Structure 1
Amino acid sequence: MNAYLSIDDVGITFQTEKGSFRALDHVNLKVEKGEFISIIGHSGCGKSTILNIVAGLLQATEGGVLLENREVDSPGPDRAVVFQNHSLLPWLSVYDNIKLAVDKVHGKTKSKEERHAWIMHNLQLVRMDHAKDKTPNEISGGMKQRVGIARALAMEPKVLLLDEPFGALDALTRAHLQDSLLEIQRRLGNTVMMITHDVDEAVLLSDRIVMMSNGPAASIAQILKVDLPHPRRRVELADDAQYNHYRAEVLRFLHGHAPASAAA
């Protein structure tokens, strides 16, 4: 039986002024429908490169990506990306930022009334319906990321791709958004692939954690299955032995694979 999302023997080489740079080498990963996958590793290990290949923003030099047995070779609404930078259009309201995406994806399949209801539904999912008429410069960084997630969900993607979406936020806001993402993913059953540097975030959110070797020619070094029951509550998990075991496993991996410059 084929996986829902399949990364098959992917490698990529970039041409630079100093010659060829091998970023990824023989990356293989099977993701099932509804899984939450985190990719973690040191800077320069190719995490975002993998995500961009799955998004269709980069083309692999070798190998490829299949989503429901169809080759991924360009961007598409079946894969929505949320970056660390929210990328909202500052001259549009919160509502209109989402409307732009909804009209593009659902303009021919939903009526005007249905699109409005769908926009409001997704704003309610991230608890931002109260701010629908505000512009991005009138809301906080965490609220902007909520809108970015709502915009991505409104596209009804098969795979939600998150590139360190909470990396620029303060610890408390980050925790609130992680909890919201857990709740949304549990309710909707989205297939999620997230890049992170945060060990606790990876363990809290993930079904599996993909740990990358250092670049150049980075590959998957280890995959850790996180067998914690849902719903997951961070306060209860703080003293949970299994949670702390998974956390220690990831920390041991990262410490053991620290770049030479960091270990010096």
Structure 2
Amino acid sequence: MTAPAHLDLSQVGISFTRSGQTTEVLRDVNLKLAKGEFVSIIGHSGCGKSTVLNIVAGLLKASTGAVLLDGKEVSAPGPERAVVFQNHSLLPWLTVRENVALAVDKVLAKRKSRAERAAWVAHNLALVNMTHAADKRPNEISGGMKQRVGIARALAMEPTVLLMDEPFGALDALTRAHLQDQLMEIQMRLRNTVIMITHDVDEAVLLSDRIVMMTNGPSATIGEILPVPLARPRRRLDLVEDQTYVHCRAEVLEFLYARHAKPALAA
């Protein structure tokens, strides 16, 4: 008998009404994730990638269908689903340590003592190599460092599911590569279930166990799901000429730019 999915999106759809006009953004999105799986969602702008993420996060309510986490319906935000946005959203008047501690105190106050919470904050900052900057404020650190703090804050909430909306999209290539490698290391250690939104094909192939490819909107849905059968740990330099990597990359590109090109690009 097949075990139930850890995270289950079933027939999820959503429509928005503005000025009397209703637009169907998503239709019949079906996706099951196993515990500890890393899934990327990729597609052209406007295909509803972030909308899927926001429904799983409980920030938006689906018009049809449901999202189940360990068999319970998701109906609102919860600490078991932490979100990392492209904009790190750090509070500028708090230090790095205080930004992470704010989340820890809110979520874990009943489960950990003050000393345990302080140690847990320090542990999560160490996970992302930010111990040295714990007492700095956001305006004193780089964009990549801010994003590391955002990841530490999310991990410190002990989420079952980590939701990432283009977390490295605003970073330079070298910083992005470094944080991708760090994320792979952390995820292998903690075995969180991860859903990541990305526009970057190489990022999706490098990080993912499966890549979910979305059709164009409106009424977007899952067009294809591609398994990425690459062994872990993964080293980017080893994968440059790896035939499985090259094949997966080509499959995603072919889906995005041949079979599901944006109308303006398909002309």
Q: Cα distance, 1:107 vs. partner? A: 0.7
CA RMSD of aligned residues (A): 0.7
Q: 1:47 aligns with which of 27, 41, 49?
A: 49
Distance 1:262 1:120 in 2: 48
Q: 1:211 aligns with which of 210, 213, 220?
A: 213
Structure 2 length as normaliser, TM-score?
A: 0.98
Structure 1 residue 194 corresponds to structure 2 residue 196:
yes
Q: 1:86 aligns with which of 85, 88, 91?
A: 88
Q: 1:16 aligns with which of 15, 18, 21?
A: 18
Structure 1 residue 144 corresponds to structure 2 residue 121:
no
Distance 2:184 2:99 in 1: 24
Q: Residue in 2 aligned with 1:239?
A: 241
Matches within 5 A, 1:1-264: 1-17=3-19, 19-256=21-258, 257-264=260-267
Change (3 A) 1:198 1:18: farther
Identity over aligned pairs, percent: 69
Q: Secondary structure at the match of 2:225?
A: strand
Q: Cα distance, 1:16 vs. partner? A: 1.4
Residues 49-87 of structure 1: CA distance to partner in whole angstroms, max 9, x if unpaired?
A: 000000000000000100000100000001000000000
Structure 1 length as normaliser, TM-score?
A: 0.99
Q: Cα distance, 1:244 vs. partner? A: 0.5
Q: Secondary structure at the match of 2:188?
A: helix
In the alignment, residue 171 of structure 2 is paired with which amino acid? L
Distance 1:120 1:263 in 2: 50
Q: Secondary structure at the match of 1:76?
A: coil
Distance 1:20 1:82 in 2: 30
Moved over 2 A (4+): none
Q: Cα distance, 1:18 vs. partner? A: 5.9
Q: Cα distance, 1:2 vs. partner? A: 1.1
Q: Cα distance, 1:17 vs. partner? A: 2.3
Distance 1:205 1:114 in 2: 32
Distance 2:100 2:36 in 1: 24
Distance 1:18 1:229 in 2: 51
Which structure 2 segments of 5+ residues have no match? none
Distance 1:62 1:128 in 2: 42
Which structure 1 segments of 5+ residues have no match? none
Q: Secondary structure at the match of 2:103?
A: helix
Q: Secondary structure at the match of 2:253?
A: helix
Q: Cα distance, 1:158 vs. partner? A: 0.7
Total equivalences in the alignment: 264
Distance 2:220 2:20 in 1: 19
Q: Secondary structure at the match of 1:121?
A: helix
Q: Secondary structure at the match of 1:176?
A: helix
Distance 1:141 1:263 in 2: 35
Distance 1:90 1:241 in 2: 46
Q: Cα distance, 1:20 vs. partner? A: 0.3
